[in-house]
Structure 1
Amino acid sequence: MQGAREPHGKRSAHAAANNEAQSVDCASQAVRELRRSQSGRLERDLPFSWQRCLVSIVSYGLLLTDVLRTGLGVESLHVYVPVEPDSVLYFGPYAYPVVHIARHENDTTTLPYWAYKYDTTSTSVRATVQQLRVSTWPPCVTYQGPECAETDGLTRTTVFDMIDGLVERVSKHRSGGSRAGHVVLRDEHLWVDRLNHLVLPWLFRRVIRRTSQAIFFSTARLKDEHRPICGHERPRPFACDEVWINFAHHCRASNPLCSEVTDVWHHLTQRLRRLQQQYPNASLDAVVVEGMDDFSRGGLMFHGRKLYDIVVLTRIRSCSEGGCETLAVDDYRYEGALLTTSATDWYSIIAWIRATGQGYTWARVVSLIAGIFYARSSESELERSALSDRIFFTIRTFFLIPSQVIIYGSLFPIWCYVIAHTMDASIVYELVAHHFNSPLGVYRFDLATFVRISAVSMRSVWVVASVCHSLLSLHCRRSWSPNLGIPGIPEFFISILASITVFAQVRALSWRSTEVLQVHDVAAASLRLQRVRGQQYDSCRGLINQIVLGTTIDTQFLMCSMWFVSTIATFLWALHRVSPRCMPYTLRMVSRTYVSYSASNLWPVNALVVSWSGSVVTDERKRSRRPRRQASEASATSLRPLFMESDSPRRRRSGSRLLSRLHVLAHSALSSIRSGSTDFRRELSLVHKRGASADSSIYLVNLATMTDPIMLLLLRTHSGRLIGLFKSRRTNQLLLLPHSMFVSDSDLPLDWTELELVMWLSTARLYWCDLLHAG
């Protein structure tokens, strides 16, 4: 009996399996019939628009060449002069004369204020002037008096008195128990030079601290060969032991401002000898004013920078028993800047992350094109058409989908770009800032270089996109259902917000400020501690703090952009409310896209973080004239495409013949998505009452979202996702609805009594093109 039961049990199981397989086959056949029945109504083709085509080509071109245009990261610093491991001279070294003025010369030309009021080499000089209260300096030069007539410049007589007075005052100064002619200062100053320095300064401005020193060298010491400037005698300059003073080792052949200098102090000694030869009967004395910034606070890979400068003010005098008279003064300067970074150590990691993001965008576009070709080729109207005709319709459909939806709809590449950007933004923005630096404020504009810098600065667009994705995820996380629509940002709005960062570090001399905020005379005993403090850079802070400091510019300008756009939107809304006729336009930062039940079930809502075609500026006159009874009428924010609909579902072998039999639809599927009207929203919600335009809309959105490579894997691998095949009790229409909405707690406007469940299916067992009709 047991042996008889076992074959019978096996036969029963086998029969059940056969029945299940037959049921699945029948259901699959029914789904394919559903697809074929709707293919004649899925008229998504637009009359070719060159304007729209060019916009998409440019958008996709920028997306696919992002890494090719901006690079994978900072691979090396070979364009800068290496000083030590992870440290380079990224500015300079420079050596140049500023002015040489004789007392009785007849030159009536004026000198610009830059060298004595705005240049970074003047910071320590002005700090010394403020501390010693040198009266020969105009108050406006030290930011302590009314504005000067800077367009007129400084007269040579004024500059002569400024240098002469400072040298005289330093020579007589005695600080505490130190010897005369020696001043050591700790000072704090502003550096306002770029647009980002003016944006929210109370929140983001960071002052610069530095150590300054002024040493007077008398005539006797300068003449004594056994008492060199950098000898053992105290006081001596800080920079005697610095690496950057070796110009012979650090000067590039392309830098004409250091080609004649081997060593700063050797060059200075030779220059003083030449001045002595020029004035053989005069006596020379000089003041060496040097400044050394503390290392600025850096980010994750940029650990800091510091500026060095040496200003040599020489006084040539004729002395007699009755006293001394200054015959001439001379101003000569040396400067450079040191940058410390570990960017090259992180390059392989950053390059891999950024290349992964770029590779995914390529795969995204390729999968979109391949998906469109496969879906269109499976339609009854085109499955027997020539290959060239199917390619033609694929291209037309490709340009029908908004490019911004594809570019910003995938979260994976966005996070790859954001992670790479936050890691190296600190050093990248520092190198961008260096591009605009120039000695004495003379900048040479190069268009090609500016375009490359702009492309790098536009990396902040991914930061904006990630913020939008995060906000949308939070919004739709709870108490959301597809019938509420997806609030998205209008097309190109993300690019508009991020584009302002291109101009973040553009400099303008009109807003330049290097005002010394405070000065403190420090004792010689604490000088060593101050020097050690100035040499250190802070690399021990928290990771989050380092990353935030690296993206300060992004934070500044995104906050500023949002404030600016919000202000304009509020202003236009107020004008429209007061006088709708005079101001019919409003500005919308959020535009809803009404979607089917596939959203959040078969594809994530983040795929439509960019509104399908919402416009930033809306003409309210057109919105008010829109007939509400026509659910598929294009809204004021749409591009108003003209769809084509065939008058017959008969198959054509030639795509050109098929196109000739299409005529213009006044109410297109895409426009129905854009309208956001109440009628269209209701039509999408009531699945058994949908028209052809709603079905076309569902098909097109699913086509755009389900071609994402990650979504393809989730839908087609392993068990996939459950989807139900339903039949309308009213119209006998077949419907594909996700299982998740069947068990959802959301308040969906569906009457389940009007729907009959045929079978549950897995998305992995259905043809992919069948899933395009789901929802």
Structure 2
Amino acid sequence: MASIGTEKSPEARKAASDAYILFQQASDPWKAHKKINYVNVIVSLVTYGLLLTDIPRTGTETINTMRTMGTGFYVYLGSYAYEMLTYRRDPVTDLLSDDAKLMIPGVPTVADPLLQHTRQVVTYKVRRTDLLYEYIIMPLLDRLEMYTAKMSYFRNLTSPEFNVCADPMDRPFHCDAGIYSDYRLIGEPGHPPSVAAKFTWHRVHEQVADVRKEFSSHGGNLTFDMGVLDSYVHPVAYTGGIVRAGTMQNENVLLIRVRDCDTNKCETIFLRDYRFEGAQVISDFVDWGRAVSVLRITAQCYFYIRLVTLLWACHLSAPTGVRSLWRTVLLALSEAPSHVVAYGSPFPILAYAFAHCMDANITNIMVIVRSIKLQGDTVKNPQEVFLIICLLMRRQWLLSALSWIWVHLQTMMAGWSRREGVLSVRGHVFGILGSMSVALGYRSIKFRDTRVLETRPQNPDPAVMLASINVFDAMGQRHSGVYSDLMSLFLCGVAFGAVVLLLQLLIYPFLKNRTSRGMQRALLDAFCARTDYLPSMCGRLWSVGGFICAWNGDFVLAVGRAEEEAEATRRTMLFNIVLLSDPFVLASLYAGLNRARVYRYRDVATDQTFLSMEKMQPFGPKHGDKYERVESLYADSIPFHELVRCN
């Protein structure tokens, strides 16, 4: 069995008692190291728990949370119908909501001789923002939308033959909107049947009938009139992903007014604001859904196998006589850095990142719509909030994929050696930036910008209006998907770096010789760390891509480079245990696909042997060190507990 010297002088090794202790430590460096770090255990359990429950938390594909409206091409995104407010105005000076105030000027007086009339049809351009992310990037990127709105007025609501869609040339747009007003198809399943199973104009008639019934016994000379505002957002195409996606939103507002009139004046005694909102997606996601599911399921299964092989490697990393369950748990949960296990396998990382690039458009659209609930409130359901957070956290896979590319670019540089190590992102940075990016999805009225930038009149004919929305104007484009994810991560990185610099400035008086170069170094250290002195297996049995995040680059899972040789032995073994336990590495090793050679050397001074995958010179780096090659073996022919000691 190969062993690594664990003492600093050959003389001390000659003592029999010391030799026995050193032999035990050499056979298992963790035999005398039974202290467990419970903080590491908790962090590891949380990390592995999140890895193993990715699909149960978010599903394999976003389409699972939607419903098909057409032939697999139109995808349900959500429609809502709800009553905004009911005001009984007494006295008449009572304040109305902002929404009702905007509509009051468009409602004509009772002196208007027309029973039905289109008051206004206009297309206007707005820079619509609702989310914190949109509010921040507004100076950098315009998010313009085109709206077409139509205001219709109905005076004689008391007629039993009242029909909002009676006049084919002068009626609300939702009478001709087809599927956009058909709540039998696009209604939210959780809505009452009266809402989910009717057309918009059916609901309008029901609301008018309810108001008439409510005031049927009221005395006085009552008049009933109504304003209907149809507002449709022109189709918007979302870029930033392999899957193409476009949306069309609509808002229909019904304003019913009841007034008590005499010969001199009219007093408003009742006002009801009833609203319909909907958003539909046009996408080719159904063509890519199976590929996205395969990628995510494969990556999820890979993590299951990854943890099993990690436990297997931890258990077999000691000789048969010293293996125990306690030692296996100690290595897997307390010693092995969980962030390296989570991000150290390039295959699932790239699979998750590619799957996210495919459906990032749909995911971002769905997150925004799920965040916007009835009456503009932010969702408060804990399950909904948890799902939204999990979907937004998928952005960290993009960051890990970029880190994988960065690590490989370093190793491709001329003159790179394993002793120089690699500079990669710290493990906690993935979680911090991913968590910070969730806050950018917060929706508030404070972030809203609905200023009208441009207006132009439209033909009131419903057919012409429909054509102007869907045909005449080019479909607008909005950067979303991967673009918005990378922008969000960049903004979070800037904020995180600013906090680090602020902390540096606050502690500046307590530090000596702090220069601007030192401040830059401190800022770099906040994001990155160098993993140096890599074992000779690097690039031969396991890839440097395993250091997508730095080995000792986490706050609570720091595995520092030790000065004593016993600690160095544990560090080397941990490197090999964690990275050799990758399923692809193990499969290529024991299936005969990787026939790498391992050399056994003997230290002439101490007569100890050790393993290395490099051809070493007869003289070592220290003066007087002499090495003799004993034998050359294939890696798969060496027992695993010896192979992990390869220096």
Q: Judge same fold: TM > 0.5, yes or no.
A: yes
Distance between the aligned counterparts of 2:123 and 2:578, measured in 1?
A: 62
Aligned to 1:292: 232
The one-letter code of the counterpart of 1:531 is: I
Distance of 1:740 and 1:323 partners within structure 2: 107
Tell me whether 1:192 sits opposite 2:133 in the alignment. Answer: no
Aligned to 1:723: 598
Q: CA deviation at 1:111?
A: 3.7
Aligned AA (2:230): E
Kept in 2, the 8 Å contact 1:81–1:250? The answer is no
- For the residue of structure 2 that corresponds to 1:532, the secondary structure is helix
Counterpart secondary structure, 1:211:
strand
Distance 1:194 1:257 in 2: 32
Q: Which residue is equivalent to 1:471?
A: 406
How far residue 86 of structure 1 moved from its aligned partner, in angstroms, is 3.5
Asked whether the 8 Å contact 2:596–2:635 carries over to 1, the reply is yes
Worse overlay, 300-309 or 57-66? 300-309
TM-score, with structure 1 as normaliser? 0.68
**Separation in 2 of the partners of 1:514 and 1:91?**
22
1:187/1:516 contact within 8 Å kept: yes
Report 1:272-291 matches (<5 A). 272=208, 275=212, 281=221, 286-291=226-231
Closer/same/farther in 2, CA of residues 396 and 99 from structure 1, 3 Å limit:
closer
Please say which of residues 522-531 and 237-246 is displaced more in the overlay.
Answer: 522-531
1:334 aligns with 2:275: yes
Change (3 A) 1:330 1:740: farther
Counterpart in 2 of 1:706? 580
Match of 1:175 in 2: none
Match of 1:530 in 2: 468
- For 1:401, the equivalent position in structure 2 comes to 336
Contact 2:599 2:611 in 1 (8 A): yes
Given the two structures, how large is their TM-score scaled by the length of structure 2? 0.80
Distance in 2 between residues matched to 1:318 and 1:33, nearest whole Å: 99
1:47 partnered with 2:32 = no
1:96 aligned to 83, 88, 92, which one? 83
Decide which of 622, 627, 633 is 1:761's aligned counterpart. 633
Give the number of the structure whose alpha-carbon radius of gyration is greater.
1
For residues 40 and 57 of structure 1, do their structure 2 counterparts lie closer, same or farther at Cα, with a shift above 3 Å needed?
A: same
Q: CA deviation at 1:733?
A: 4.6
Quote the offset at 1:431 in angstroms.
2.4
1:86 aligns with 2:86: no
Q: Which runs of 5+ in 1 are unaligned?
A: 1-29, 117-158, 173-178, 617-636, 640-669, 674-679, 681-689, 743-747
Report the secondary structure of 1:601's partner residue: coil
Q: Say which SS state the counterpart of residue 215 (structure 1) adopts.
A: strand
* C-alpha separation in 1, matches of 2:465 and 2:245: 24
Verify: 1:520 aligned to 2:456, yes or no: yes
- Tell me if structure 2 keeps the 8 A contact 1:216–1:286: yes
Structure 1 residue identity aligned to 2:583: P
Identify if the C-alpha distance between structure 1 residues 460 and 248 changes in structure 2 by more than 3 Å, giving closer, same or farther: closer
**Residue aligned with 2:61, SS:** coil
Distance 1:170 1:536 in 2: 41
**8 Å contact kept, 1:246–1:264:** yes
C-alpha contact (below 8 Å) 1:83/1:243 kept by paired residues = no
2:86/2:272 contact within 8 Å kept: yes
User: Are 2:603 and 2:625, in contact at CA under 8 Å, matched by a contact in 1?
Assistant: no
User: Structure 1 residues 193-202 or 476-485, which shifts more?
Assistant: 193-202
Instruction: Note the 1:3-14 alignment, pairs <5 A.
Output: none
2:324 alignment partner, SS class: helix
In structure 2, the partner of 1:311 is 253
Looking at structure 1, the residues matched to 260 and 4 of structure 2 have their Cα atoms a distance apart, in angstroms, of: 108
Q: Give aligned pairs, total.
A: 604
AA of the residue aligned to 1:409: G
Residue 309 of structure 2 is matched in structure 1 by 367
CA contact (8 A) 1:46 1:400 kept: no
Q: Give matches, 1:454-469, under 5 Å.
A: 454-469=389-404
Q: Structure 1 residues 501 and 166, CA, compared in 2 at 3 Å: closer, same or farther?
A: same
Superposed CA deviations along residues 653-710 of structure 1, whole A, max 9, x for unmatched, are xxxxxxxxxxxxxxxxx5435xxxxxx6xxxxxxxxx944433322221122111111
Q: Deviations over 1:25-79 (max 9, x none)?
A: xxxxx7589999976335233412333222222222222222222222235356x
The offset of 1:271, in angstroms, is 4.9
Using the alignment, how far apart are the partners of 1:572 and 1:55 within structure 2? 25
Q: Name the amino acid aligned to 2:468.
A: Q
- CA deviation digits over 1:576-617, x for unaligned, max 9? 55541799996622222222333233322222333233345x
Q: State the AA in 2 paired with 1:722.
A: R
Residue 773 (structure 1) aligned with residue 635 (structure 2): no
1:672 equivalent in alignment to 2:561:
yes
Superimposed CA distance per residue, residues 636-655 of structure 1 (whole angstroms, 9 cap, x where no aligned partner): x875xxxxxxxxxxxxxxxx
Contact 2:3 2:608 (8 Å CA) reproduced:
no
Letter in 2 for 1:451: F
Corresponding letter in the other structure for 1:770: E
The alignment status of 1:235 with 2:177, answered yes or no, reads no
Q: Once the two structures are aligned, what percentage of the paired residues are identical?
A: 20
* Secondary structure in structure 2 of the residue aligned to 1:715: helix
**Which of 546, 550, 568 is residue 499 of structure 2 equivalent to?**
568
Aligned to 2:420: 484
Written as runs of structure 1 = structure 2, the 5 A alignment for 1:572-583 is: 572-580=503-511
Partner residue of 1:438 out of 338, 363, 373: 373
Q: Tell me the amino acid that sits aligned with residue 715 of structure 1.
A: L
| Alignment pair present for 1:606 and 2:606 | no
Q: 2:298 corresponds to which residue? A: 356
**1-structure distance, mates of 2:568, 2:109:** 86
Partner residue in 1 for 2:358: 423
Alignment of 1:115-264 (within 5 A): 115=99, 159=101, 163-168=103-108, 181-217=118-154, 228-241=163-176, 242-247=178-183, 251=187, 254-256=190-192, 258-259=194-195, 262-264=198-200
Q: What is the distance in 1 between the residues matched to 2:111 and 2:398? A: 55
SS at match of 2:64: coil
